[in-house]
């Protein structure tokens, strides 16, 4: 229901164990691993850092995501054959993405001596991080016997946000006819923040851990969002699903601060001395006057990263004999096996993030289900995952993990994800 408000559910009602109904976390790096930087192999860290910078591109990224369901539930409206369902809940999410600042990193490591005539792109600086809580209310209905449509409204509360994605500018050094070199810096950089400026400035009066956690779970900035999804059965054993999530925005107006570095600086000579401002003559003060730090307290708006899911599933080995109806919803308990594929896409400050997954699902027993997956994405080409779902009475537990081959040496892993949840699911007697 979280990934598709139009999911096919046959439960009479369900509710999750508070704070344990669903937890997921994902860490991924598309260009390097922790081993590349911190391996105890006798290589100097500066050398390893330089190797990482030169082996990556400005499209490589570090991604961190965490989601915790605080509470959730759902119930059918009407009798056992009613096609209408209501879901509700609240979850907390932290999401961060940082792109490798390729050009600025090379300039910082090597300087400009060997790069005369090269323009270093300051637009490589792109990053975003946010902690939000989400209140949601969903509704779905069987439009036809084999078609289900659902929608979910969301209220976002943001505790922390830092966004620097609208950057441009360049730095270059070229030979000069009058002096030895001409060096130019054009900067159009911006960092927008909400909820953290008091911590950055060091004057927060409420910086204890309790207040930070409270703010992370119920922030002052509000926004609205929408999810839509569907499930379609062209045949009783073939399922198509699709969903679009988090079409929405958050307005940031509390504890906001925007940092701007805008301007144009030109220097003619050998090299401006910014290391020791006291002995740099007028060059450092000229730079500060040309490209100054400007801060504002203006409210701003951010758009949520939109997610899209689409899947195809083919089920076979019907254990119900010649039954004509799909009486088991998305559990597919009547079929012993299923194969399929899922496509995931998410908007990001650069190109969309994508993942394509092939899966095999096996009903080991009536209350025990196993799923194996293979995923292709920008983080790994060897991502094999396993999922297990079991039920004892009304109590349901699920556990999933991705990139299991990387567990042989976690330091070399470029992607890791983990999910689990504890819920109570109540079905009609006809379904037991």
Provide the CATH number for the domain around residue 403: 2.40.160.40
**Total domains in the fold of the chain:** 1
Q: Quickly list DSSP for 214-255.
A: HHHHS-SEEEEEEEEEEEEEEETTEEEEEEEEEEEEEEE-SS
- Give pLDDT, residue 196: 87
- Mapping DSSP to helix (H, G, I), strand (E, B) and coil, where does residue 191 land? strand
In a domain, 114, yes or no: yes
In a domain, 1, yes or no: no
- Give pLDDT, residue 284: 74
Residue 197's nearest CA partner among 215, 170, 182, 171 is 215
Residues of the chain with pLDDT under 50: 323-332
In a domain, 336, yes or no: yes
What is the domain range of residue 81?
13-431
Give the predicted TM-score (pTM) of the model.
0.88
- Give pLDDT, residue 319: 66
In a domain, 6, yes or no: no
Q: How far apart are CA 45 and CA 40, in angstroms?
A: 10
In a domain, 278, yes or no: yes
In a domain, 402, yes or no: yes
**Strands 221-235 and 291-296, how do they pair?**
unpaired
Query: Angle, to 10 degrees, between the axis of helix 45-55 and the axis of helix 102-110?
Result: 140
Q: Report how far apart the first and last C-alpha atoms of the chain are (Å, whole number).
A: 21
pLDDT tens track for 6-47: 999 878 899 999 999 999 999 999 989 999 999 988 999 999
In a domain, 272, yes or no: yes
- Give pLDDT, residue 329: 44
Distances 395 to 21, 57, 338, 426 between C-alpha atoms, Å:
11, 47, 24, 9
**Strands 221-235 and 181-194, how do they pair?**
unpaired
In a domain, 174, yes or no: yes
CB 50 within 8 A of CB 72: no
Give residue 13's Cα distance to chain centre.
30
- Give pLDDT, residue 330: 45
- Give pLDDT, residue 231: 97
């Amino acid at each position: 229901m979280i990934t598709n408000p139009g999911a096919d559910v046959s439960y009479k009602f369900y509710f999750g164990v508070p704070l344990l109904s669903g937890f997921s976390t994902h860490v991924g790096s598309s260009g390097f691993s922790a081993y590349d930087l911190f391996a105890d192999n006798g290589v100097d860290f500066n050398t390893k850092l330089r190797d990482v910078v030169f082996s990556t591109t400005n499209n490589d990224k570090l991604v961190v995501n965490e989601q915790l369901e605080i509470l959730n539930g759902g119930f059918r409206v009407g009798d056992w054959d009613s096609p209408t369902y209501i879901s509700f809940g609240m979850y907390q999410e932290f999401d961060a993405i940082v792109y490798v600042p390729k050009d600025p990193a090379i300039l910082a490591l090597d300087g400009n001596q060997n790069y005369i005539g090269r323009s270093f792109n300051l637009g490589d600086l792109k990053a975003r991080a946010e902690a939000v809580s989400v209140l949601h209310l969903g509704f779905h209905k069987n439009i036809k016997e084999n078609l289900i449509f659902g929608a979910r409204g969301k209220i976002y509360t943001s505790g922390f946000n830092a966004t620097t994605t609208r950057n441009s500018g360049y730095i270059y050094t070229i030979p000069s006819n009058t002096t030895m070199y001409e060096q130019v810096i054009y900067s159009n950089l911006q960092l927008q923040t909400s909820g953290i400026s008091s911590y950055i400035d060091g004057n927060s009066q409420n910086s204890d851990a309790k207040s930070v956690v409270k703010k992370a779970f119920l922030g002052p900035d509000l926004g609205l969002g929408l999810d839509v999804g569907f499930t379609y059965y062209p045949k009783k054993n073939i399922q198509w699903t699709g969903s679009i999530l988090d079409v929405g925005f958050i307005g940031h107006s509390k504890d906001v601060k925007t940092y701007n570095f805008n301007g144009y600086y030109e220097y003619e000579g050998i090299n401006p001395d910014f290391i020791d401002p006291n002995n740099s003559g007028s060059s450092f003060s000229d730079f500060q006057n040309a490209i100054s730090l400007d801060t504002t307290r203006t409210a701003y708006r951010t758009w949520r990263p939109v997610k899209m899911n689409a899947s195809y599933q083919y089920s076979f080995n019907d254990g119900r004999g010649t039954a004509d109806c799909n009486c088991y919803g998305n559990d597919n308990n009547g079929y012993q096996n299923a194969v399929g594929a899922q496509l995931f896409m998410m908007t990001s400050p650069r190109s969309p993030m994508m993942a394509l997954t092939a899966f095999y699902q096996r009903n080991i027993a009536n209350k025990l289900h196993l799923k194996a997956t293979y995923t292709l994405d920008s983080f790994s080409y060897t991502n094999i995952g396993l999922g297990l779902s079991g039920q004892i009475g009304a109590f349901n537990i699920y556990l999933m993990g991705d990139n299991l081959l990387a567990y042989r040496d976690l330091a070399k892993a470029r992607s890791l994800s983990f999910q689990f949840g504890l819920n109570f699911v109540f079905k009609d007697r006809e379904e037991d």
